[in-house]
Amino acid sequence: MAKMEVKTSLLDNMIGVGDMVLLEPLNEETFIDNLKKRFDHSEIYTYIGSVVISVNPYRSLPIYSPEKVEDYRNRNFYELSPHIFALSDEAYRSLRDQDKDQCILITGESGAGKTEASKLVMSYVAAVCGKGAEVNQVKEQLLQSNPVLEAFGNAKTVRNDNSSRFGKYMDIEFDFKGDPLGGVISNYLLEKSRVVKQPRGERNFHVFYQLLSGASEELLSKLKLERDFSRYNYLSLDSAKVNGVDDAANFRTIRNAMQIVGFMDHEVKSVLEVVAAVLKLGNIEFKPESRVNGLDESKIKDKNELKEICELTGIDQSVLERAFSFRTVEAKQEKVSTTLNVAQAYYARDALAKNLYSRLFSWLVNRINESIKAQTKVRKKVMGVLDIYGFEIFEDNSFEQFIINYCNEKLQQIFIELTLKEEQEEYIREGIEWTHIDYFNNAIICDLIENNTNGILAMLDEECLRPGTVTDETFLEKLNQVCATHQHFESRMSKCSRFLNDTSLPHSCFRIQHYAGKVLYQVEGFVDKNNDLLYRDLSQAMWKAGHSLIKSLFPEGNPAKINLKRPPTAGSQFKASVATLMKNLQTKNPNYIRCIKPNDKKAAHIFSEALVCHQIRYLGLLENVRVRRAGYAFRQAYEPCLERYKMLCKQTWPHWKGPARSGVEVLFNELEIPVEEYSFGRSKIFIRNPRTLFKLEDLRKQRLEDLATLIQKIYRGWKCRTHFLLMKRSQIVIAAWYRRYAQQKRYQQIKSSALVIQSYIRGWKARKILRELKHQKRCKEAATTIAAYWRGTQVRREYRKFFRANAGKKIYEFTLQRIVQKYFLEMKNKMPSLSPIDKNWPSRPYLFLDSTHKELKRIFHLWRCKKYRDQFTDQQKLVYEEKLEASELFKDKKALYPSSVGQPFQGAYLEINKNPKYKKLKDAIEEKIIIAEVVNKINRANGKSTSRIFLLTNNNLLLADQKSGQIKSEVPLGDVTKVSMSSQNDGFFAVHLKEGSEAASKGDFLFSSDHLIEMATKLYRTTLSQTKQKLNIEISDEFLVQFRQDKVCVKFIQGNQKNGSVPMCKRKNNRLLEVAVP
């Protein structure tokens, strides 16, 4: 958040008002109400301008976390709600950046939270200043010096369980970068009376209780101590235990802290020995002893304790014993020893214890300073933190309270001076007119105390130094004389009669009206305490101690350095150191933290208005506000003012270009704020009345609401727009990526496809080549194989004969050849005759030659037939051709055929040429006669036969009368269609003529001849050669014959034997002609 530079202001979320300056109306009541309201809301810090009021919450609040430190770091003082961190930051930054030495003045009553505040300031500065190993060590040492000093210098009082019983001023030194270099601690007046006596309900310094509770048995016995508090007279018993405080644990803490700060082990041991010695001193008791001279003398009751102390401190026991019994006074070179009575012995004892302890405390501070002092000599910037005991009013107030209250008086003085001065300076710086305001100035009280001529401290010193008997009473008398007229001094004894009847003012007391209230001081002990006397015998005894630390604590005990001059009194010492402190503070830029105690019960959540009212009064806080508000209640640098209110005016919103001051001027004009209400300083605007500021704030609040709506609106728009643009951009990116991805994918696909195709092509090519090569290889192999086989064959062939395996076959073939040879030779001799009809044929000798034998027989037969045929003349050839023709036509068809085979075909059985009877016939025929024979012509009507000459020429068939030779019929061969005959052994045949032809008019011819086969054959051959047509020859035992118009059936039957071997022909009816064949 801090880094976002959100401009906030003290005015944001304010509870009551964060700055009392803004209180309206301003009076005591509203002031307290405001504090209470804020206190009730855990807002313990409130500003008066740049002063921080801190109300002790008496409980831990969650407002000091590291996050808070970060929040307040580098922020303007008025930017966040009031906080001690804001003041610390302001101081640190102005130290670092503006080179101004700072002091943080923390004031307030005891228990108001001063020490806590100082620690918070230191821890804040430690947290925000530079880092690094060296720096961290310095820081750690600075911070750890606190617990050590608190153990030795703090005690439980009725006001505060951890009340600082000393004043502390710590200068933290920084280099130019703001890194801590070291520090210097000054301590003021330890309340040493507490060592020997504590008021009721209070405790001695923490360290005694811590040592007894926390030390190991071993350590205790070394220190000759016992754990039981009640063993020690110096420890008050009624409040030895403090609620919520673990002394044992704190003992460990301080030992650890001492180690961090740089105490050596032997130093720690020495310190604890001194503490033990102080405790044990309290246990030394005295008893009176009457002496001869009648004076009382004191004697140590129990020397055991003394012995142990001496063992512990290395002091000669007799020396110490003597120091407790005698007092040596030196005057005018003379030493006078007087004995001490019991009371004096106790006084001496307590004085020793107090001195021992307070000197030890101073030594501790110096020792710490040695550790934490800056190592370099470079110029340092300084931040002083003053945590001094607060204003104290007890029942019995003594010298210590007087001193403490004086110191507070001085601080109040410087506060008044510095704040007023600062205010005035600011007005001058800013060029604003300064108006005077009345306020109570406590300078007069300071004067009463510290005035060199008649101040109370001066009177006291005078008394102490005065020869003769000096008592507290004489001192009071003196005061009564000198200060009686002072308006802040009150005493019963004073000449001024106004207190004569004041019973609240005892005679042995005087009262001072401090700025913070009236305080009644018991005069008893003032002189002693101021003298702070330690009998010389005791300091000398201490100096003689074997314990080097104790020895160094009492340098005045050295007899060589004997100094008769009285040491400065406690009062004057304190006055001087306070003066130095004041001078120191005046050179620095002051920052105030004013602590307020809300109740007397150390309780949270209780706000006692009366108590607070009292503190407010004496702290002069109201005056503080008034001074601050004199003229102008509120002021602010122009830049933050403009920044805060610029939204109230159009010209300045959202940006003012010119200087901030003119911006504020424009702004205030625009808002019509009355001119008298504000004033322009050089760098700041001064606002007279808080009301004006609140008006501005109200306006701002309203405006902010409007602006918030506007911002919301714009922001929402912006958010939507950016979201949309982002989505759009994202979409483009996604799309781009997706496209890229898709293209990549596609490319990969194409690539892999190309690869596949490539590989297929390459594969295919390779396979082709491979095939080719394989083929070539196979060819080569084949050629080789063939050659090998061929050679093998050749070789085998060449060598086969040499193989026994072939022998069998050879022998077999050879034997076969021999047998066949023999067969053929024998056959030659056994050949049958060459007659084709010879059926003889030698028998076969071997079964396996059966087919050969038959074939041979067939060949031989064919051959001898051929031989036989070759003997024939052409004439004979023709006869045989005819015979062959006849066999083809009739063999196995006609029973007559076999008887015809042996008859030679003569053709011209009838020699026409020679017989003159047939001269005429012969002449009529010009052509060659193929057949001339006499046949029986069967009469178609009755079956009776007539002889006729049957002539066949090349073209015609002629029938002529046997006797006359006269031609009876002539039929051209072309008209003959068919010849029919029976299958039997007869010579009948019918010649069928072509229907409608001239010769057919009488019908077909029916003949009977002895040479039927020859005649039918010749008729067939001649017709074939003349007409190129095969003559149809029908062989059947029943056929039809055309007789004139009728068709007659000729039927052959198996005839009787009556007519011998001549067939009988008989006409049975018109349709049937029966031929009986024997």
Given a contact cutoff of 8 angstroms between Cβ atoms, the answer to whether 172 and 180 are in contact is yes
Name the minimum Å distance from CB 41 to ligand ADP: 15
The phi and psi torsions of 380 (rounded to 5 degrees) equal -115, 150
Given a contact cutoff of 8 angstroms between Cβ atoms, the answer to whether 553 and 356 are in contact is yes
Q: Quick one: which H or E segment has residue 706?
A: helix 690-800
110 binds ligand ADP (CB under 6 A): yes
Name the minimum Å distance from CB 58 to ligand ADP: 5
DSSP 8-state assignment for residue 804 = G
Closest CB to Mg ion among residues 158, 437: 158
Q: What is the largest CA-CA distance in the chain?
A: 257
Number of residues that bind ligand ADP (CB under 6 A): 21
Residue the block writes with tokens 């200068």 = 171
Closest CB to ligand ADP among residues 161, 173: 161
Which of 13, 60, 563, 840 touches ligand ADP (CB under 6 A)? Answer: 60
Which of 163, 358, 419, 539 touches ligand ADP (CB under 6 A)? Answer: 163
Given a contact cutoff of 8 angstroms between Cβ atoms, the answer to whether 693 and 671 are in contact is no
Q: Quick one: which H or E segment has residue 583?
A: helix 570-586
Q: Which range binds ligand ADP by CB under 6 A, 111-119, 217-225, 256-264, 1049-1057?
A: 111-119
Given a contact cutoff of 8 angstroms between Cβ atoms, the answer to whether 992 and 1004 are in contact is yes
Name the minimum Å distance from CB 476 to ligand ADP: 30
Closest CB to ligand ADP among residues 56, 615: 56
Q: Which range binds Mg ion by CB under 5 A, 21-29, 159-167, 249-257, 729-737?
A: 159-167
Q: Which H, E and C letters describe 14-61, residue by residue? A: CCCCCEHHHCCCCCHHHHHHHHHHHHHCCCCEEEECCEEEEECCCCCC
Name the minimum Å distance from CB 389 to Mg ion: 7
Marked catalytic residue, from 43, 109, 116, 392: 392
Which of 18, 113, 282, 907 touches ligand ADP (CB under 6 A)? Answer: 113
From the list Mg ion, ligand ADP, none, pick the one residue 113 interacts with, judged by a Cβ distance below 5 to 8 Å according to partner type. Answer: ligand ADP
Which of 115, 313, 358, 419 touches Mg ion (CB under 5 A)? Answer: 115
Active site residue 400: no
Closest CB to Mg ion among residues 344, 405: 405
Name the minimum Å distance from CB 49 to ligand ADP: 21
Active site residue 163: yes
Active site residue 115: yes
Closest CB to ligand ADP among residues 390, 557: 390
Closest CB to Mg ion among residues 115, 413: 115
Closest CB to ligand ADP among residues 60, 435: 60
d(CA 4, CA 1001): 160
Closest CB to ligand ADP among residues 85, 475: 85
Collapsing DSSP states into helix, strand and coil, what is residue 696?
A: helix
Closest CB to ligand ADP among residues 202, 350: 202
Half-sphere exposure (Cβ direction) of 632: Cα atoms closer than 13 Å: 22
Q: Which range binds ligand ADP by CB under 6 A, 56-64, 225-233, 897-905, 1023-1031?
A: 56-64
Name the minimum Å distance from CB 259 to ligand ADP: 24
Active site residue 392: yes
From the list Mg ion, ligand ADP, none, pick the one residue 371 interacts with, judged by a Cβ distance below 5 to 8 Å according to partner type. Answer: none
d(CA 49, CA 28): 17
**For the residues of 95-153, what is the DSSP string, one character each?**
HHHH---EEEEEEESTTSSHHHHHHHHHHHHHHHS--SHHHHHHHHHHHHHHHHHHHHH
Helices 638-645, 660-670: axis angle to 10 degrees equals 40
Marked catalytic residue, from 34, 50, 115, 204: 115
Marked catalytic residue, from 18, 49, 108, 111: 111
Closest CB to ligand ADP among residues 161, 882: 161
One-letter identity of residue 859: I
Angle at 515 between CA 514 and CA 520, to 5 degrees: 20
Marked catalytic residue, from 214, 390, 1003, 1055: 390
56 binds ligand ADP (CB under 6 A): yes
CB atoms within 10 A of CB 875: 8
From the list Mg ion, ligand ADP, none, pick the one residue 116 interacts with, judged by a Cβ distance below 5 to 8 Å according to partner type. Answer: ligand ADP
From the list ligand ADP, Mg ion, none, pick the one residue 394 interacts with, judged by a Cβ distance below 5 to 8 Å according to partner type. Answer: none
980 binds Mg ion (CB under 5 A): no
Which of 144, 164, 419, 589 touches Mg ion (CB under 5 A)? Answer: 164
Given a contact cutoff of 8 angstroms between Cβ atoms, the answer to whether 124 and 84 are in contact is yes
From the list Mg ion, ligand ADP, none, pick the one residue 1069 interacts with, judged by a Cβ distance below 5 to 8 Å according to partner type. Answer: none
Name the minimum Å distance from CB 597 to Mg ion: 12
Which of 356, 595, 667, 1048 touches ligand ADP (CB under 6 A)? Answer: 595
160 binds ligand ADP (CB under 6 A): yes
Select the residue whose beta carbon is closest to ligand ADP and give its number: 113
112 binds ligand ADP (CB under 6 A): yes
What CA dihedral angle connects 313, 317, 322 and 324, to 10 degrees? 50
689 binds Mg ion (CB under 5 A): no
Collapsing DSSP states into helix, strand and coil, what is residue 369?
A: helix
Active site residue 160: yes
Tokens found for residue 245: 């405080």
Q: Is 726 left (phi over 0), alpha (psi -120 to 50) or beta?
A: alpha
Which of 43, 71, 79, 116 touches ligand ADP (CB under 6 A)? Answer: 116
The phi and psi torsions of 537 (rounded to 5 degrees) equal -55, -40
From the list Mg ion, ligand ADP, none, pick the one residue 595 interacts with, judged by a Cβ distance below 5 to 8 Å according to partner type. Answer: ligand ADP
Q: Encode burial over 708-726: b for 16+ CB neighbours within 10 A, e otherwise.
A: eeeeeeeeeeeeeeeeeee
Q: Which H, E and C letters describe 674-692, residue by residue? A: CHHHEEECCCEEEECCHHH
Closest CB to ligand ADP among residues 60, 503: 60
Q: Which H, E and C letters describe 1011-1044, residue by residue? A: CHHHHHHHHHHHHHHHHCCCCEEEECCEEEEEEC
d(CA 635, CA 677): 12
Closest CB to ligand ADP among residues 253, 982: 253
DSSP 8-state assignment for residue 63 = T
Name the minimum Å distance from CB 84 to Mg ion: 15
Active site residue 390: yes
Contact pattern for ligand ADP over residues 90 through 109, marking x by CB under 6 A: ------------------x-
Marked catalytic residue, from 9, 123, 160, 298: 160
Q: Which range binds Mg ion by CB under 5 A, 112-120, 516-524, 542-550, 894-902?
A: 112-120
Residues numbered 387-406 forming contacts with ligand ADP, rule: CB under 6 A: 390
Q: Which H, E and C letters describe 534-547, residue by residue? A: CCHHHHHHHHCCCC
d(CA 974, CA 955): 8
Q: Which range binds ligand ADP by CB under 6 A, 53-61, 431-439, 656-664, 828-836?
A: 53-61
Tokens found for residue 960: 């002529």
Q: Which H, E and C letters describe 209-261, residue by residue? A: HHHHHHCCHHHHHHCCCCCCHHHCCCCCCCCCCCCCCCHHHHHHHHHHHHHHH
Judging by DSSP bridges, how do beta strands 1046-1054 and 1072-1077 pair with one another?
parallel
Residues numbered 491-550 forming contacts with ligand ADP, rule: CB under 6 A: none
From the list ligand ADP, Mg ion, none, pick the one residue 1003 interacts with, judged by a Cβ distance below 5 to 8 Å according to partner type. Answer: none
Catalytic residues: 110-111, 115, 160, 163-164, 390, 392
Q: Give the interface with ligand ADP as residue ranges (CB under 6 A).
A: 56-61, 108, 110-116, 160-164, 390, 595
Q: Give the interface with Mg ion as residue ranges (CB under 5 A).
A: 114-115, 164
